[in-house]
């Protein structure tokens, strides 16, 4: 299972747990939550955080989403995804937002406005103002010699 699938599994687990107790007429609200995701051997792979989740049926609206993905030994954050708002459709395994999104790794930051995340296709699309910033790349790129 890759990091995209792990994230949506984490979001889905919030939805499934909360939908079990939610009323049909009003959304269930959860504040200040985090959902850790472990592999079969108990190694922490990722953690999903949110300030607020409103869950109605198969749809979860999440405010101030942050997802941390950890390195092999679970000691450092290898990648972080943040968005002020995100709507997750559990049945479709699909997340979308019209808000900003930021994806950061050690030497790369991707930002944009509006996104769709399809876990089945393992694809994240940023719709507007997409920017990629590469940091300290000179030391990692072999420069070719002039002829």
| Model confidence pLDDT, tens digit, residues 31-65 | 998 888 888 888 888 888 899 999 998 899 999 99
pLDDT at 12 over 80: no
pLDDT at 117 over 70: yes
- Which CATH class for the 3-140 domain? mainly beta
Q: Which long-range contacts (CB under 8 A, 24 or more apart) does 107-114 make?
A: 107/134, 107/135, 107/136, 107/137, 107/140, 108/132, 108/133, 108/134, 108/135, 109/133, 109/135
Q: Which of 6-10, 42-46, 118-122, 130-134 has the lowest mean pLDDT?
A: 6-10
Domain definitions of the chain by residue range? 3-140
pTM tops 0.85: no
């Amino acid at each position: 299972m890759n990091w995209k699938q792990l994230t949506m599994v984490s979001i889905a687990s919030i939805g499934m747990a909360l939908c079990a107790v939610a009323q049909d007429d009003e959304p269930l609200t959860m504040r200040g939550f985090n959902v850790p995701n472990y592999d079969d051997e108990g190694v922490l792979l990722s953690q999903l955080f949110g300030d607020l989740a409103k869950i109605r049926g198969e749809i979860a609206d999440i405010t101030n989403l942050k997802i941390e993905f950890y390195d092999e030994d679970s000691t450092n954050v290898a990648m972080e995804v943040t968005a002020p708002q995100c709507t997750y459709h559990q049945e479709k395994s699909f997340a979308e937002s019209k808000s900003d999104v930021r994806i950061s790794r050690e030497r790369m930051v991707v930002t944009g406005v509006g996104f769709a995340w399809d876990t089945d296709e393992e694809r994240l699309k940023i719709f507007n103002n997409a920017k990629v910033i590469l940091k300290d790349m000179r030391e990692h790129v072999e420069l070719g010699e002039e002829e």
